[in-house]
């Protein structure tokens, strides 16, 4: 019969509507500041999308654009000034930064309570401890899609392929928090196919086009493909995931497409984090429509 398609666009639209409703409940509009250094074309597109989404959700948003030759001190000073601004609830530094800039040092300037991308060491620590830190957007979006398909993960086997600090590691922690039995696979894993075939929930985030094929998927498994890779085929450029979608959908129970799966949820979760951060900073309860 083929897998159920997990529609990330529709899920993101529902979440954005909830975020807008939550924002309207707060005493003041949530404030989101984006720092964009340089003129990287892809970053410009991503930031424009975030700016548009924030405005549509009823946020006070502003993009702080800095030239590519900005010094480390100049970039850090902008981030620190936003950290001290009471009207700013969330700070997002668009990555990657131009060569020569220390990304870790810039991210470290973001106050934990405004870290809407969940990238600081303090946010990572809160995730490990099960605290109230802001969860990285892509893993959070992945979990929301999984929850729609399988509300109770207790006793389920989950495999995360990829151990990056941006996706793999936080996603594994989130799955553990929901009582799944979790295995993290990576480039040194022996017999990756055998490991993947144990998964009731298989999440792939390695940046290798169509690494996971149908013979690596347990029949009926939920497959979350976080990868997005541009490949040339037949003289045309095409976006594909880390999972060979056309063959995987014959085996999986449910699967995210690329594009249109996890990607749309990332921006929606950025907005969700911002409204949560704003509620906490304004000293009011997080509106139920966006509470976990």
Sign of CA dihedral 228, 5, 216, 156: positive
Which candidate in 18, 117, 200, 225 is catalytic?
117
Does 228 belong to an annotated binding site?
yes
Query: Phi, psi at residue 162, to the nearest 5°?
Result: 125, 135
Q: Answer yes or no: 94 catalytic.
A: yes
Say which of 89, 94, 218, 242 is annotated catalytic. Answer: 94
Task: Classify each residue of 91-117 as buried b or exposed e, where b means 16 or more C-beta atoms within 10 Å of its C-beta.
Answer: bbbbeebbeebeeeebbebbbbbbbbb
Tokens at 98, concatenated: 């131009």
Asked if residue 163 belongs to a known ligand binding site, the reply is yes
3-state secondary structure the chain: CCCEECCHHHHHHHHHHHHHHHHHHCCCCCEEEEEEECCCHHHHHHHHHHHHHHHHCCCEEEEEEECCCCCHHHHHHHHHHHHCCCCCCEEEECCCCCCCCCHHHHHCCCCHHHCCCCCCHHHHHHHHHCCCCCCCHHHHHHHHHHHHHCCCCCCCEEEEECCCCCCHHHHHHHHHHCCCEEEEECCCCCCHHHHHCCCCEEEECCCCCCCECHHHCCCCCEEEECCCEEEEECCEEEEECCECHHHHCCCCCEECCCCCCHHHHHHHHHHHHHHHHHHHHCCCCCCCCCCC
Q: In the annotation, is 39 catalytic?
A: no
- Of 29, 50, 114, 169, the active-site residue reads 50
Q: Is 164 annotated as contributing to ligand binding?
A: yes
117 is catalytic: yes
70: annotated binding-site residue?
no
Binding site membership for NADP(+): which residues? 162-164, 228
Q: Which residues are catalytic?
A: 50, 94, 117
Binding residues: 162-164, 228
């Amino acid at each position: 019969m083929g897998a159920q398609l997990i529609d990330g666009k529709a899920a993101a639209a529902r979440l954005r509507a909830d975020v807008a409703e939550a924002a309207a409940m707060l005493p003041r509009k949530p404030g989101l500041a984006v720092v964009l250094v340089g003129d990287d074309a892809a970053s410009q597109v991503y930031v424009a999308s975030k700016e548009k989404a924030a405005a549509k959700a009823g946020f006070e948003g502003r993009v702080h654009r800095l030239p590519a030759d900005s010094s480390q001190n100049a970039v850090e000073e902008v981030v620190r000034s936003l950290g001290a601004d009471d009207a700013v609830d969330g700070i997002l530094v668009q990555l990657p930064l131009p060569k020569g800039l220390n990304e870790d040092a810039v991210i470290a300037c973001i106050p934990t309570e405004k870290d809407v991308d969940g990238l600081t060491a303090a946010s990572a620590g809160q995730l490990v401890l099960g605290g109230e830190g802001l969860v990285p957007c892509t893993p959070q979006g992945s979990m929301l899609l999984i929850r729609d398909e399988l509300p109770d993960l207790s006793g389920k086997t989950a495999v995360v392929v990829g151990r990056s600090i941006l996706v793999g590691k936080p996603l594994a922690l989130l799955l553990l928090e929901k009582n799944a039995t979790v295995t993290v696979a990576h480039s040194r894993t022996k017999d990756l196919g055998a490991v993947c075939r144990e998964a009731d929930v298989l999440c792939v985030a390695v940046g290798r086009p169509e690494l996971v094929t149908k013979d690596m998927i347990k029949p009926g498994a939920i497959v979350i493909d976080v990868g997005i890779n541009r490949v040339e085929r037949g003289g045309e450029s095409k976006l594909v995931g880390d999972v060979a979608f056309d063959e995987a959908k014959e085996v999986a129970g449910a699967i995210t497409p690329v594009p249109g799966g996890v990607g749309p949820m990332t921006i929606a979760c950025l907005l969700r984090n911002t409204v949560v951060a704003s509620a906490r900073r304004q000293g009011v309860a997080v509106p139920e429509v966006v509470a976990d």
